A and B are shown apart, each in its own frame.
Chain A
Amino acid sequence: TQLLEQSPQFLSIQEGENLTVYCNSSSVFSSLQWYRQEPGEGPVLLVTVVTGGEVKKLKRLTFQFGDARKDSSLHITAAQPGDTGLYLCAGEYGNFNKFYFGSGTKLNVKP
């Protein structure tokens, strides 16, 4: 059983479209991170959110942390082929420094 549920698992869209990826849990996170992973490489940290209701922007990417710190979303505006990859969320629970990852959302942006 995954502690963190990510949806959708797969997403294939055309260049220029918008999309949202969700990360949900029944537990409260101390912090939550979003990563992007390309084939043959390790995950690369995109953002960390720690405060309920927090919104962070990274160019065309907007990250939101739920008020209750149980869920998060990643919104990409005007997706580009370079956004293609596996997006992972990771939550840190009460026991500091133990991290749990979602199973990922595989995004394919077609030119």
Chain B
Amino acid sequence: EAQVTQNPRYLITVTGKKLTVTCSQNMNHEYMSWYRQDPGLGLRQIYYSMNVEVTDKGDVPEGYKVSRKEKRNFPLILESPSPNQTSLYFCASSSGTVGYFGAGTRLSVL
């Protein structure tokens, strides 16, 4: 079954404590991306990756890092989380257009 798997699904943390949200896809897609979803703002692209070791900034990259060491994995790293990064995060992968989304990670930064 085609899947994009994110972990964890829920996370509560404190300001400044580094965290990583993992994302894995089993479809051998080259393109992967991260979004955050906030009320009234829709989904905004954070980072995307065209292939292994190729990443680029989306619309709202500040405060985030990503890496793409393997085709299947695309972790999102928050080096020093702040309360304004409290949001619902989605990972997506695609063979062309943005086709498949993970179930989401709800992050609260206190």
Contacts and interface: CB of A to CB of B under 8 A. Distances in A.
Interface residues of B, number: 25
Given A33-B98, A42-B4, A92-B97, A97 B90 contact: no
B interface majority secondary structure:
strand
A100 B31 contact: no
Interface in A17-45: 31, 33, 40-45
Nearest to B40: A103
Nearest to B90: A42
A48 B43 CA distance: 17
Contacts of B44: 100-101
Interface of B: 4, 31, 33, 35, 40-45, 48, 50, 56, 58-59, 90, 92, 97-104
Given A43-B90, A88-B42, A103-B40, 19 more contacts: A2-B41, A4-B42, A31-B97, A40-B103, A41-B104, A45-B97, A45-B99, A45-B100, A90-B98, A92-B97, A97-B31, A97-B48, A97-B56, A98-B45, A98-B58, A98-B59, A101-B35, A101-B44, A102-B42
